[in-house]
Structure 1
Amino acid sequence: MAQTDSSTNTNAPGVMTGNPLIESDRVEGTAVYDPQGNHLGSIKRLMIEKISGKVAYAVMSFGGFLGMGEDEHTIPWSKLDYDTSLGGYRTDISEEQLRGAPSLSRDRDYDWSDRERERELHDYWKTPYYWGI
């Protein structure tokens, strides 16, 4: 799935209207839905590549109750499409896939420069590496 970046003024579902930019704090907390429109979870934070400024990943939280017992998984940004009819992001990811996905740690000491772990993540989701090959 590719991020919609159209700025045309049409009201078709999934097509961006007006300004194609959004502040990062407005993305955090945005709902994520499966292909059938069922709520999967929400975006906790974005992982942005320092040099290019491109969003590489969204960390998504799901499960739990009232913020307790939530799981977090890192999803390649290319797996999300903003759907204006839902007011959130739609993905082709199922809950079962999410539960079986490799995780990248939130721990401050986690080595985000470990390309092998990132390759594992991208291979699992069948997405191209954001950094190129």
Structure 2
Amino acid sequence: MRRTSVRKYPDFLPADTIKGEKVVSIAGKNLGKIEELIIDLQAGRVAYAVLSFGEFSGMNGKFFAIPWQALQAKFQEHAFLLNIPKYTLEKAEGFDKDNWPVTTYEWLSTVYSYYGYQPYWQIPRL
């Protein structure tokens, strides 16, 4: 049977098409860009995105771990909308591009909690 409707936006994307995409605030202001996607190999899911943020606010370009659920694709703008207030991001504990944290579920749980998101491994899958 032939499919008569065509989806306007994809359900799946290669990671390298996401890396480098700009991240904007709810107000539409440029916050930075996605530097990397960190994959949870046991769960087979994106654990978090690494956001470079700060070149625009004098913070010397720190990196931040952002829960994947906090980002919404804006295909027409070739960007991701960050559903976290800028002031929350400005006060977050970031890391230097040359000194990444060791990812553990304990560390990641504090990151998710800080941004107000439930860790993905605690959400029942449908």
Q: Quote the Cα distance in structure 1 between the aligned partners of 2:92 and 2:61.
A: 15
Which consecutive aligned stretches of 4+ in structure 1 deviate over 6 angstroms post-superposition? none
Alignment match, 1:9: 7
Which deviates further from its counterpart, 83-92 or 24-33? 83-92
Bigger relative contact order (CA 8 A; separation at least 6): 1
Q: Offset at 1:113?
A: 2.0
Give unpaired runs (5+ residues) of structure 1. 1-7, 11-16
Alignment match, 1:76: 67
Counterpart code for 1:42: K
Alignment match, 1:4: none
Q: Quote the Cα distance in structure 2 between the aligned partners of 1:74 and 1:96.
A: 15
Alignment match, 1:24: 15
| Number of equivalences | 116
Alignment match, 2:38: 47
Q: Quote the Cα distance in structure 2 between the aligned partners of 1:121 and 1:54.
A: 16
- 1:128 alignment partner, SS class: coil
Q: Quote the Cα distance in structure 1 between the aligned partners of 2:31 and 2:48.
A: 17
- Using the size of structure 1 for normalisation, the TM-score is 0.74
Higher strand share: 2
Q: Quote the Cα distance in structure 1 between the aligned partners of 2:119 and 2:28.
A: 27
Give unpaired runs (5+ residues) of structure 2. 1-5
Q: Quote the Cα distance in structure 2 between the aligned partners of 1:29 and 1:111.
A: 22
Evaluate the alpha carbon distance shift between residue 20 and residue 31 of structure 1 in structure 2; reply closer, same or farther with a 3 A threshold: same
Q: Does 1:126 align with 2:124?
A: no
Q: Offset at 1:30?
A: 0.3
- 2:76 alignment partner, SS class: coil
Q: Offset at 1:37?
A: 1.2
When the two chains are superposed, the root-mean-square deviation of aligned CA atoms in Å is: 2.5
Greater radius of gyration (CA): 2
Evaluate the alpha carbon distance shift between residue 23 and residue 48 of structure 1 in structure 2; reply closer, same or farther with a 3 A threshold: same
Q: Quote the Cα distance in structure 1 between the aligned partners of 2:51 and 2:18.
A: 11
